[in-house]
Amino acid sequence: MSIQENYELAKKAYEKWGINVDEVIEKLKNVPVSIHCWQGDDIGGFEVNQKELSGGISVTGNYPGKASTPEELRADLEKALSLIPGKHRVNLHAIYAETNGEVVERDQLEPKHFENWVNWAKENGLGLDYNPTLFSHPKADDGLTLSHPNEEIREFWINHCIGSRKIGEYFGKELGTPALTNIWIPDGYKDIPSDRLTPRRRLKESLDKIFAVEVDEKYNLDAVESKVFGLGSESYVVGSHEFYLNYAMKNDKLCLLDTGHYHPTETVSNKISSMLLFSEKLALHVSRPVRWDSDHVVILDDELKEIALEIVRNDALDRVIIGLDFFDASINRVAAWTIGTRNMIKALLSALLVPNEYLKQLQEEGNFTERLALMEEFKTYPFGAVWDYYCEKMGVPVKESWLEEVKAYEQEVLLKR
């Protein structure tokens, strides 16, 4: 049977439950995923005085073909985007600035250092998001930045974050879609601290200074991101979930939840509904922790499906800003982007193809038997036929055929670097 024929049969199965599959596809087309540039070069960046990766972050593997210039990275992103259905965004870190060989300290970065990225985004119809880079730098060598006891070091990072928000504002103005500028810091201690309060007080004061500088929210959205622990900060992280949750709520900022930044017994999917009750918008970094925050490529596992369900069933597709954050150097990097992003979109499609309102009604009525039965049966409904049709309709490879394009790109481009 053809893709179209399989799609028509799938439509009939879903329509019995009041699901208009054509409308689902139209809705999905308008949901952007922010694809992180750093998967393409193992979070290396393009600083003239490039420093070894630090800040509790580790990238393992040495697969050939890593991008080593902005042009190579953008070409790799273009290839990945050509294999992913929909129109999306690209997420940049400060270390991806282009300074034409000049040493420019991070607290001196300006919009002009990202003009090439903006022009490229315009050509490709993309939005851009942004992150100050508070790691892999001499002023972060002792594991402290915005909470550092040295005022001069704190001021350096404060100014870097202020400049980053202005760069995000520039992205938003130029591209007609607001940038999400997200602050994550590695600050913490390897062993048990004797004082947890003072570093957090300094972090609060630093953030207050950063956000005191006016940036137009029409063009830039501010977010703060927590972490449970990192390499070198196993016992204490200054920017904990409780710290940032309270800070975001009090100061009307977005709280960004990274799926790898919680205790293994916690799930981000379970946090989304609570956050939506008290926040107009919520930001996500979707990753896959394996035993720790190891940022494996996103797969279509139960937690990813549950995250998508929580977004969809709560009618929050326009309230949850979805970004990805993984880095695997043990496999083809273009393939990693493609696998992870396609899986995020698959999860959203799967969630849209569930009779969510009816299942809610069953729960309210106490009909837990039918609720469980239907939730299980819909796991084997013909979702794959709809996905194949969506890919074909959006002009990207169907099923695993995209892999042949990546193999060819590897032979023609990556292995010649």
Write out pLDDT tens, residues 340-399: 999 999 999 999 999 999 999 999 999 999 999 999 999 999 999 999 999 999 999 999
What is the predicted pLDDT for the residue at 55?
A: 64
Active-site entry in 66, 93, 261, 271: 261
Q: Residues 242, 245, 248, 249: is their CA dihedral positive or negative?
A: negative
Could you tell me the pLDDT band of residue 56, with boundaries at 50, 70 and 90? low
Active-site entry in 303, 325, 328, 410: 325
Radius of gyration of the chain (CA): 22
Q: Is 315 an annotated catalytic residue?
A: no
Q: Is 225 an annotated catalytic residue?
A: yes
Residue 237 DSSP SS3: strand
Ranges in the chain annotated CATH 3.20.20.150:
31-352
CB atoms within 10 A of CB 148: 24
Show the tokens assigned to 80.
């990945």
Q: Is 142 an annotated catalytic residue?
A: no
Residue 300 DSSP SS3: coil
Q: What is the mean pLDDT of residues 103-122?
A: 96
Active-site entry in 174, 295, 328, 388: 295
What is the predicted pLDDT for the residue at 264?
A: 85
Contacts of residue 49, defined as CB under 8 A and 6 or more positions apart, other chains included, come to: 103
Of the candidates 257, 230, 189, 184, the residue with the CA atom closest to the CA atom of residue 38: 184
Give the C-alpha separation, 158 to 212, whole Å.
Answer: 11
Angle at 180 between CA 53 and CA 285, to 5 degrees: 55
For the segment(s) 31-352, the CATH number from 3.40.50.2000, 3.20.20.150, 2.60.40.730, 3.40.50.11030 is 3.20.20.150
Beta bridge partners, 183, equal: 224
Beta bridge partners, 254, equal: 223
Q: Is 293 an annotated catalytic residue?
A: yes
Estimate to the nearest angstrom the gap between the alpha carbon of 11 and the chain centroid. 31
With a cut of 70, say whether residue 125 has pLDDT above it. yes
Structure-model confidence comparison of residues 292 and 258, the more confident one: 258
Give 130-159 pLDDT, tens digit per residue. Answer: 999 999 999 999 999 999 999 999 999 999
Q: Which pTM does this prediction carry?
A: 0.95
Active-site entry in 148, 160, 227, 241: 227
Q: How are beta strands 282-286 and 254-258 bridged, if at all?
A: parallel
Active-site entry in 47, 293, 310, 388: 293
Q: Is 258 an annotated catalytic residue?
A: yes
Mean residue pLDDT of the chain comes to 95
Active-site entry in 258, 303, 328, 388: 258
Q: Residues 335, 226, 159, 140: is their CA dihedral positive or negative?
A: negative
Give the C-alpha separation, 151 to 69, whole Å.
Answer: 35
Which residue shows structure tokens 């602050």?
Answer: 183
Q: Is 137 an annotated catalytic residue?
A: no
Active-site entry in 285, 346, 387, 402: 285
Structure-model confidence comparison of residues 246 and 230, the more confident one: 246
Q: Is 285 an annotated catalytic residue?
A: yes
Of the candidates 331, 317, 284, 256, the residue with the CA atom closest to the CA atom of residue 34: 284
Find the DSSP H helices in 236-367. Answer: 241-251, 269-278, 302-313, 333-352, 356-365
Give the C-alpha separation, 94 to 100, whole Å.
Answer: 15
